[in-house]
Chain A
Amino acid sequence: MNNSEAEKTALQMKKLKEDMLPKKFSLSGKIWVGVLSLIFVTGLYYYFFRQLREGLIITSMRDYVSWGIYISNFVFFVAISLVGSLISAILKLSNAHWQTPLTRIAEVIAVAGITFAGIIIIVDMGRPERFWHLFVYGRIQSPIIWDVIVITTYLVVSMLLLYIPMIPDIAICRDATPAENKWLKKFYTFLAIGWQGTKEQYKIIENSVKILAVVVIPLAFSIHTVTSWLFATTARPGWDSTNLGAYFISGAFVVGAASVICAMYILREHYKLEKYITLKHFDYMGRLLVLLLLLYLYFNINEYFVPGFKMKKVDADHLNELLTGSYAPLFWSVQIIGMIIPLIVMLFNSGRKPLVMFVLGVMVVVGAWFKRFLIVIPTMMHPYLPMQDVPVEYTHYFPTWPEWSITAASLAGVLLVITFFVRYFPIIPIWETAKEHGIHPEEIK
């Protein structure tokens, strides 16, 4: 290799690092963090100073609607976390290659989502201080225990899938951090676990990521299937369905892909990453989302059409309320705005441009949140026995202000985790991008 080529490589590396090394928060970044922190702290207040003291009475949940937005939010978080496996495992194993700059975005959404899924489920417990009972008295026959097992496993595997491919980049951060920034340097040095960039080390990373990618797919399917079983194992209208596992998984990939699209757009605009997150990426993600939406549409038709055709008494009460009754405005908004419109718009080339995709992505994500609400709550409003002999507030459900606040705090928490991750780690894999630019691994510094 001659000198000019080496110089060229060094110059290329410098440019890559300039573009992709984590940057301090700008003013808008600080405002963003400030607002999120405010929401988060408000939720913490309501949880620790109201709910823990007074009990779940501060929510709108009562004996009929005994699971409310905490649980629907939990389902949402589990759903959104599935995208980690979609981008960094399914696409990787199918040799798609184009998804390289998106893997870390997807994986950090997965880790943040699944972490807060675990947190929000503890928030929903009437006796959170007895959480340890799950480990000493756990009954393996209960779907909740299955969920505890698969979710913790998925969390660990997702964290490894986030961390291991990031080690070379952490080493780059370590080397780029000036010595006077003592704590940050220590932090990176610790996390880089002595990375030298040797051939053997790269080999280890590649092999472990391959194994993890294979492992994470059945795990991802498990977490959401088991989550759907929390509902499907009961004899209630709307939940008592063999379609529920597949329905949940297809919906999860939809909301996960849409959330990656939103994150792609924001990061690209904010950090000027147009060179790395290109129009091609939006185009491909758009096509992928269309495919996922079609799949989801298919399971939606199965979920509502089949019981709707038969109209068994208890299903009929539930479906009438959902499709034509008091939940109808929300139901049709979610189905049309969150599924049908994005599906149609993204069929067109001009529908897969970044800004359009961002708007559609937000529509899908918001729709998906309310869709979980529609899966959990209306069913609880349709018990077999009539709702009698209870106070009137037991017969309807609208979340209270503290309940909204705590739920909003969990959403803000997910965004804060992602935001701080982007602040301290390169969100686009530097070394993998460099490799794709034809730079030899040992020259990536």
Chain B
Amino acid sequence: MAEENNDNQTNDRRNFLRAGLFLGGSAVAGTILSNTLSASEETSGEKVKVMTAEGQLVEVDRSKIKIATDTLSALANNDERKGIPGKKWVMVIDLSRCKNARKCQSACNKAHALTGPNQWLKVYEMQDNEESSPYWMPKPCLHCDNPPCTKVCPVDATFKREDGIVAIDNERCIGCRFCMAACPYSTRVFNWEEPKQPIHIATGEHTCATSQPRKKGVVEKCDFCPHMLEQGKLPHCVTACPNGVFFMGDENEDTVTNGSETFALSQLLRDKAGYRYMEDLGTKPRVYYLPPVDRLFPFTKEDKEKTEE
């Protein structure tokens, strides 16, 4: 069995390491791997225990192991539209942990040089009905698998990448704003005037992977930080949150992490009754929410007032 799946598992593991998602076992495997840099074609007969992405401990022949590098080359221009190979990015937002600290928002604004009202990540005060308690709901772009926005774009300026990300090429966007009308989540924002941004960004080279430099008269939105994911790092909102509300991961690996805790995606969604916002619209978002039950913090508006001051 180990022999059969060898290729797959090596591939999985490589991706696994790239994203920087180490589980306990891989550290052990890592030391052994470093000794097997020059793997020969022949079977050595020596078995090595390694852990798969699913968390299963398996034995493989030492000669079959290839070392995985954790550096990725920057995406070439053509690849910006394809995305990071082999990945299916997914986010989980645990509403039971959010206290409206808004560190996600400020980190996002800082990282993308967002000024004024153009915030890619918003935090809503939600209340499903009069009887139930209100809760805070952070909302990035939901990166739908059936995105209403890319369907209506007349020039393919916004598009779905193979790694699940819905991106925008602001060098191509004509500013018709049909995507804004089509998005049911009010995710997209428009540069109604010349965006204020540092000069080195404004004059820098354009890439869809960073959505920079920002442009006047075009649509922009949360891009899931492909420039971070590319380097195996987590998006800014995930790392900035003091309460670990945001989990990011690869659906192919079935793992999500907020930097300090890591879960198997499928099990987390099963155990915590994860849902997608407005599932009935059929947009198939890549962002899951965990319902605001057993909360870490009571709902209070003080937090909001504090941030507004």
Residues of A within 8 A of B (CB): 54-57, 59, 61-64, 66-67, 124-127, 130-131, 133-134, 137-139, 141-145, 148, 230-231, 233-236, 380, 383-391, 394
Number of interface residues, chain B, beta carbon within 8 A: 42
Asked if B152 contacts A142 (CB within 8 A), the reply is: yes
Quick one: which of A62, A138, A384 contacts B278, CB cutoff 8 A?
A: A384
Q: Nearest 5 CB-CB pairs, A to B?
A: A126-B175, A126-B217, A144-B154, A57-B193, A137-B155
Provide 14 A-B residue pairs closer than 8 Å at the C-beta atoms, listed in order of the A residue: A54-B193, A56-B175, A62-B117, A66-B177, A66-B190, A127-B217, A130-B155, A130-B172, A134-B155, A137-B157, A142-B155, A383-B186, A386-B126, A389-B122
Interface residue? B123 (CB, 8 A):
yes
Asked if A57 contacts B148 (CB within 8 A), the reply is: no
Interface residue? B59 (CB, 8 A):
no
Once the chains are docked, how many angstroms separate the CA of A59 from the CA of B192? 9
Asked if B117 contacts A63 (CB within 8 A), the reply is: yes
Asked if A386 contacts B175 (CB within 8 A), the reply is: no
Asked if B178 contacts A142 (CB within 8 A), the reply is: yes
Residues from chain B with Cβ under 8 Å of A148 in the complex? 154
Interface residue? B113 (CB, 8 A):
no
Asked if B186 contacts A125 (CB within 8 A), the reply is: no
Quick one: which of B152, B174, B189 contacts A130, CB cutoff 8 A?
A: B174
Once the chains are docked, how many angstroms separate the CA of A384 from the CA of B148? 14
Once the chains are docked, how many angstroms separate the CA of A143 from the CA of B178? 10
Once the chains are docked, how many angstroms separate the CA of A131 from the CA of B122? 32
CB-defined interface of B38-59 with A at 8 Å, one 1/0 digit per residue?
0000000000000000000000
Residues from chain B with Cβ under 8 Å of A391 in the complex? 117
Once the chains are docked, how many angstroms separate the CA of A127 from the CA of B191? 11
Asked if A63 contacts B181 (CB within 8 A), the reply is: no
Interface residue? B211 (CB, 8 A):
no
Q: Is the interface of B mostly helix, strand, loop or mixed?
A: loop
Quick one: which of A67, A230, A235 contacts B184, CB cutoff 8 A?
A: A235
Asked if A63 contacts B190 (CB within 8 A), the reply is: yes
Interface residue? B297 (CB, 8 A):
no
Asked if A64 contacts B186 (CB within 8 A), the reply is: yes
A252–chain B nearest beta-carbon distance, Å = 21
Asked if B175 contacts A388 (CB within 8 A), the reply is: no
Q: A63-B117, A127-B173, A391-B117 are in contact. Are A139 and B139 (CB under 8 A)?
A: no
Residues of B within 8 A of A (CB): 117, 119, 122-126, 139, 148, 151-157, 172-178, 180-182, 184-186, 188-194, 216-219, 278, 281
Residues from chain B with Cβ under 8 Å of A63 in the complex? 117, 180, 186, 188-190
Asked if A133 contacts B124 (CB within 8 A), the reply is: no
CB nearest neighbor in A for B170: A127
B194–chain A nearest beta-carbon distance, Å = 7
Once the chains are docked, how many angstroms separate the CA of A67 from the CA of B157? 19
Residues from chain A with Cβ under 8 Å of B181 in the complex? 66-67, 230-231, 234, 236, 380
Residues from chain A with Cβ under 8 Å of B180 in the complex? 63, 66
Asked if A124 contacts B176 (CB within 8 A), the reply is: yes
Quick one: which of B117, B139, B152, B175 contacts A125, CB cutoff 8 A?
A: B175
CB nearest neighbor in B for A391: B117
Residues from chain B with Cβ under 8 Å of A126 in the complex? 173-177, 190-191, 216-219
Asked if A127 contacts B175 (CB within 8 A), the reply is: yes
Once the chains are docked, how many angstroms separate the CA of A142 from the CA of B219? 17
Interface centre among A64, A125, A385, A391 (most CB of B within 10 A): A385
Once the chains are docked, how many angstroms separate the CA of A134 from the CA of B153? 10
CB nearest neighbor in B for A314: B184
Asked if A145 contacts B176 (CB within 8 A), the reply is: no
Quick one: which of B117, B151, B219 contacts A141, CB cutoff 8 A?
A: B151
CB nearest neighbor in B for A146: B154
